[in-house]
Structure 1
Amino acid sequence: MKGEGANSPSGIPTPCRIGVVENDKVYIEYLLAELQNGGRATEPIYSWPSAEQFLHDERRSELDLLILDIDLSGISGVQLAGILSLKQPDLPILILSNLTSDAAIFEAIKNGVKGYLLKSELSDLSQAIDVVMAGGAMITPTIALRVMSTFQKNPTPGPELTDRERQILELMVRGKTIKSVAEFLLLSPHTVHDYVKRIYKKLEVHNRAELVQKVQDLQLM
């Protein structure tokens, strides 16, 4: 059964069911200890080393909150957030990562994450969990500064892509085949192929090499 994820009548935060996707074996042990000692997570705290393993585990439906790193092998954390925005839109996601690129931050926010912290700001984690579980959103001052500075830059012109097209584009750039993309997104290969054709047309490319180069040139990711 899912936890309440809110404050009890006494004002003490109610422990919630937390899952973690993190591929750093040393850091995950430290993080789990912090969550256990802080009393914000019910036992057991589920963890997965990759987005793929997380997506294939039915226990993810039990979670009240997902803590997610971005820099994962295979499907990235940003991409996983996008997938979950369609598969589990009610699952709050909190990013905890060392990755601070403008593209990663904005794509994560666009994909619906409710919080973004740096791993070096772990002291803010308990507060972030409380804010997110209360229905709010939280980014630390470090991330907020990056967001503000990006808004002050001139935007890079680029084609208008739908959320689904962006998901498929990121998978294709990462070297995934149409078949593997279809399996990850639970679509038919034919449907993915149609999306790829539209992406190629919008980006004015003819093959994957040109696609990768165009993505880099336009800083789409």
Structure 2
Amino acid sequence: MKVLIIDDDKLITHALKTIIEMEEDMEVAALGFSAEDAINLYDVHRPDILLLDIRMKDKSGIDAFKDIIKKHPAANIVFLTTFMDDEYIKDSLMHGAKGYLLKSEFENIVPAIRSVYAGQSVFESKVASKIPDILNTSPKYDPDLSEKELELLKYISEGLNNKEIANVMYLSEGTVRNYISVILEKLNLRDRTQLAVYYLKGQ
């Protein structure tokens, strides 16, 4: 899989490149050091995963994310940061980021890339624990959702994949996929990340 790394700290970008390229099934498509690099290099390389610094000198990773997602709605973008800022976390969630990782937790980077590539969302445990408080002013759940649909949303918010959800709910994977499609349509949402955010907002 191809990974694009964007961070205005060149030491970080090269350290991440070294870590990722130790994996036989991963390659670093390019390195960039600004939000503009992120936008331009994404267009050129179309990576499977974009690791994107959230705070940079020219403009934020959130701004770059918005530009990229307009042209490439299926983009898998994971934010990297040294900041546990509530606004950054909220912005990343509300705009559909696939993950939010702390740069200090280098050992989590490769597993996170694999999880996002497999269709999951990944939020650092320290970040995930803050989400309910950050989003606690939002409305409760849509009354059209059944108890089983809410249970499934709970497992999505905990990061379980379809097979794991099928096991704990005693359903087939096909049934889980069907449930997810129905819920996405009911709520007019795009993907699992937005479903997870929706569930956490309603708590």
Bin of the TM-score, shorter chain as denominator length: 0.5 to 0.7
Q: Which position in structure 2 is the counterpart of 1:93?
A: 77
CA contact (8 A) 1:81 1:112 kept: no
CA offsets 1:10-60 (integer angstroms, 9 cap, x no match) = xxxxxx011011110111111111111133422x53011111123234754
Q: Which position in structure 2 is the counterpart of 1:23?
A: 8
Distance 1:57 1:75 in 2: 16
Q: Report the TM-score when normalising by structure 2.
A: 0.62
Decide whether aligned partners of structure 1 residues 56 and 129 sit closer, same or farther in structure 2, where only a CA change above 3 A counts. closer
Which residue identity is paired with 1:31? Answer: L
Residues 34-53 of structure 1 aligned to structure 2 (within 5 Å): 34-42=19-27, 44-53=28-37
Secondary structure of the residue aligned to 2:58 is coil
Larger Rg belongs to: 1
Distance 1:57 1:77 in 2: 14
Decide whether aligned partners of structure 1 residues 40 and 105 sit closer, same or farther in structure 2, where only a CA change above 3 A counts. farther
Decide whether aligned partners of structure 1 residues 58 and 81 sit closer, same or farther in structure 2, where only a CA change above 3 A counts. closer
Distance 2:81 2:32 in 1: 15
Which residue identity is paired with 1:34? Answer: I
Which residue identity is paired with 1:114? Answer: K
Residues 56-135 of structure 1 aligned to structure 2 (within 5 Å): 56-57=40-41, 60-135=44-119
Secondary structure of the residue aligned to 1:100 is coil
Q: CA RMSD in A?
A: 1.8
Q: Report the TM-score when normalising by structure 1.
A: 0.58
- Is 1:146 the counterpart of 2:130? The answer is yes
> What is the CA distance between 1:119 and its match in structure 2?
0.6
Which residue identity is paired with 2:26? Answer: A
Decide whether aligned partners of structure 1 residues 134 and 57 sit closer, same or farther in structure 2, where only a CA change above 3 A counts. closer
> What is the CA distance between 1:132 and its match in structure 2?
0.5
Secondary structure of the residue aligned to 1:19 is strand
Aligned-pair identity (%): 25
CA contact (8 A) 2:53 2:80 kept: yes
CA offsets 1:99-152 (integer angstroms, 9 cap, x no match) = 211100110111111011101112111211111001110111100112123234
Distance 1:29 1:57 in 2: 16
Secondary structure of the residue aligned to 1:113 is coil
